[in-house]
Amino acid sequence: EVQLVESGGGLVQPGGSLRLSCATSGFTFSNYNINWVRQAPGRGLEWVSYISSSSSTIYYVDSVKGRFTISRDNAKNSLYLQMNSLRAEDTAVYYCARDLYGVQIDAGMDVWGQGTTVTVSS
């Protein structure tokens, strides 16, 4: 069974840091591009970041550039999101989501984790 399991969320003060993890199983992780997507309370989905299968290509939404860093360890079948200088507006459920295989620019996301909650508040 294909699975993505996020962890690492929690309550953090503004300006603080968190590192999210996404553990995967049931597929060849190193063959897939992966994303982080977030959803603020009562709001819609927002794409946050993308990393290609080999880590050679990385993208971020403008609002997190310079604060968040996406990375992966193909040997451990895991994805990460280092979040620094956190703001109240970063409060959300964070999902990792796998890109459709073999689709480069126009990929959608066919498998999602259950999400981990990040709350930024003093």
Q: Is 95 a residue that touches other proteins (CB under 8 A)?
A: yes
Q: Is 94 a residue that touches other proteins (CB under 8 A)?
A: no
CA dist list (Å): 65 to 9, 60, 96, 119: 20, 6, 18, 19
CA-CA distance, 120 to 122, in Å (whole number)? Answer: 7
Q: Among 24, 33, 35, 116, which residue interacts with other proteins (rule: CB under 8 A)?
A: 35
Q: Is 5 a residue that touches other proteins (CB under 8 A)?
A: no
* H runs (alpha helix) in the chain: none
Q: Is 40 a residue that touches other proteins (CB under 8 A)?
A: no
The residue ranges that bind other proteins (CB under 8 A) are 35, 37, 44-47, 50, 59, 61, 95, 97, 100, 103, 105-110, 112-115
